[in-house]
Structures are given as structure tokens and as C-alpha cells.
Amino acid sequence: MQFAGSHILSVEQFARGDVERIFAVADRMEPYAHRRRVTRVLDGAILGSMFFEPSTRTRVSFGSAFNLLGGEVRETTGFEHSAIAKGESLYDTARVLSGYSDVIAMRHPAAGSVAEFAAASRVPVINGGDGSNEHPSQALLDLYTIKSEMAGRGRGIDRLRIAMVGDLRYGRTVHSLCKLLRLFDAVQVTLVSPRELAMPADIVEEMRAGGHQVVESDAMEASISHVDIVYATRIQEERFTSQAEADLYRGRYRLNQSIYTHHCEPNTVIMHPLPRDSRDHARELDDDLNDNPNLAIFRQTDNGVLVRMALFALVLEVVEQVDRHARDVNWYTARRF
Ligand code: NCD
């Protein structure tokens, strides 16, 4: 695809070569993300960051990625602080805010809303999550993490064995990740969820039609024994009509060190898009895994910055200029990665 000036709304817009291009650019962002070098390539550029749903890492990592490229960030968070609370349409908001920004990152609770906003925007829009539909930058950072974890084991993404566990119905990260995995060869996906929270049938059908093996199950332990990756997810309580309904499912699947030791192959990678629900009645990914070297959740969050820097560099077409506007940092970098 042509990245320059394009919206990034769905992973369905990528071919395998596009994903590989994004990952190659992400690799080149490492000295900047790891604070050994600074670049001013986006000096003067403005990111409009509009998050109409709770967000910590997606919002902050989009902002950090833009700052690390030398640009500035203007933030709108929550409907209550925006004119949408006065009845303004997405069309008008997009026309106005795209006049103040060079690129926009947006999250919104309604599926399809970011695409509707993008249609009216005068600058590229990156989808930071639209309801339970898609979360393309998360799927890219997840896949980038999978690629690097598997490389450490002498493997690639082709023929990956992955179990996705939890709320597969409303979890937009697993929707986008499944669609992205279709671009690779002979992936084996085990989908573990309560029957009511199963992966949407169209996503399952398209994976199978692409020659991938998909197994659906409601039993976690048996499903995580022969996989390379266990990808746990949170029950998306904000998509349920009541907390009581979400309570039916919270805590149904819990991965902890003892279950991992008894059921997983020794090198199985543990992933989660975060936030993990650490309250006692949930705990889908227990804190007792924190010292497990195969827990990749904070490598995922670190990789989010690299991948989002790559998206900005490609969409604003500065990839080849990044290093020309760079120098070493002035300060002592004590951070260890
Ligand atoms: C996810 C999201 O918002 O879809 N979080 C994230 O962006 N890393 C997952 C979640 O909220 O459970």
C-alpha cells in the first residue's frame, strides 16, 4: 500500500509486505525509542490525540512516539471535555480538528466511528480502537512482539501456534490480531472463551478459508499445552449491559505460574494487550507470573512505541530523513531494556 497520507483504520488494508515494511521501519526506530539518540524530524508537526474512551498505554505511547520524532501533541480526552458533549457531529469535529493537526490518533466507543471521522478529516487518521471492532496499531505491536519472541527461539511467524483466551467477542485486539495472522502461512489458532463470548464467526470463517487451522474451545488448560503463545485478554466489561453480566465471566480463565508450569511447554510466551484486571474476582493473568522470563507483556508495551513511531514516519513520509535530523542524547541513559 501507499502509506504517505493514508488513514490506518483496519489491518485489512495491509498485505504481508506492508506489515514487513512497518516492522523494518520499527527496527530502525530503536535508538530513538531507547533514548540513545534524539531526532527532530517532525519538528513543527502536530498530532491531534483524541481519546473518547479510557486509555493509558495507547494514548501515551502514540504521544510519546510523536514526541520522540520531534513533534508536538494536542490532546482531547473524554466526551465531557469536547464539543461532542454539546451535540457536535463527528463530521464537524473532524473538519475542525484536522485543521489544527498534521495527523490524528483517535479512539471512540462506537464501531466504525473512526472511519466515519476519517472520511471527513483533512489529515491522516490512525484508529486507536473503535468499539469492539478493530485496534490495528495494537495488532501490529502484538505481531512485532511475536516476531521478535519467536526469532529468539529460531522461528518465524509462519506455522505459529497461538491460543487466545478470554473475551474474544468484544476484544478488538484479538479481532485485529486474527485478521493480521491471516497474512502468514499455516497458523494454528486455538480460541478459548465462554460460548457467549466466542470470536465473531466471520473472522473464524475467513481464517479457515485462508488455510489456517482454527479450534474453538471453552477449556483453557487443555488448550494451552502445545502452543507457542498464550494471549490472554480482559473481560471487556464496558461492552456489557451490566456489571452483573460481566461478573458471569470475570475470573473464568486465570493463568498463573502453577497452571503455566503444569500445562504449558517450558518456553511458551505469555502475552496480554493490557490492562490486565488485577482485582481478585478477575486476575486473568496473575501477578505471580511477573518474574517469568516468558512474560512478554512489558516488551509488548515497549514495542508499541517503535511500531507507532514507524506508522507516523510512514504516513508522514519521513522515514529516510529520521537519521539526518538526529544526534546523540546529552544525558546519561541509565535505563535498561
Ligand atoms: C485494549 C483495548 O483498549 O482494546 N487495551 C489496549 O489498547 N492495550 C485491551 C483492553 O482494554 O482490554
Q: Residue 83 gets which letter from DSSP?
A: G
Catalytic residue among 58, 76, 173, 233: 58
pLDDT of residue 337: 63
Q: Is the CB of 239 under 6 A from ligand 1?
A: no
85: pLDDT strictly greater than 80: no
User: Which residue is it, cell 512485532?
Assistant: 144
Beta carbons within 8 Å of 124's beta carbon, 6+ residues apart? 5, 6, 7, 8, 103, 104, 118, 315, 316
Mind listing the pLDDT tens digit for each residue in 212-268?
A: 999 999 999 999 999 999 999 999 999 999 999 999 999 999 999 999 999 999 999
Check for a shared fold between 11-134+301-328 and 136-298.
yes
- Known catalytic membership, residue 234: no
| Residue 101 backbone dihedrals phi, psi, to 5 degrees | -135, 160
Q: Mean of the pLDDT values across residues 314-325?
A: 98
pLDDT of residue 151: 98
pLDDT of residue 68: 98
Beta carbons within 8 Å of 234's beta carbon, 6+ residues apart? 166, 167, 171, 272, 275, 276, 277, 282, 284
335: pLDDT strictly greater than 90: no
Chain mean pLDDT for the chain: 96
Q: Is the CB of 273 under 6 A from ligand 1?
A: yes
Work out the pLDDT band at 106, boundaries 50, 70, 90: very high
Interatomic CA distance for residues 139 and 128, integer angstroms: 11
Q: Is the CB of 274 under 6 A from ligand 1?
A: yes
- Known catalytic membership, residue 147: no
Query: What is 136-298's CATH topology?
Result: Rossmann fold (3.40.50)
Q: Where are the domains of the chain?
A: 11-134+301-328, 136-298
pLDDT of residue 229: 98
Q: Is the CB of 147 under 6 A from ligand 1?
A: no
- Known catalytic membership, residue 37: no
Q: Measured in angstroms, how far is the CA atom of residue 275 from the centroid of ligand 1?
A: 6
Give the least confident one: 5-9, 79-83, 212-216. 79-83
| CATH top class, domain 11-134+301-328 | alpha beta
Work out the pLDDT band at 184, boundaries 50, 70, 90: very high
| Residue 255 backbone dihedrals phi, psi, to 5 degrees | -100, 125
- Known catalytic membership, residue 308: no
pLDDT of residue 222: 96
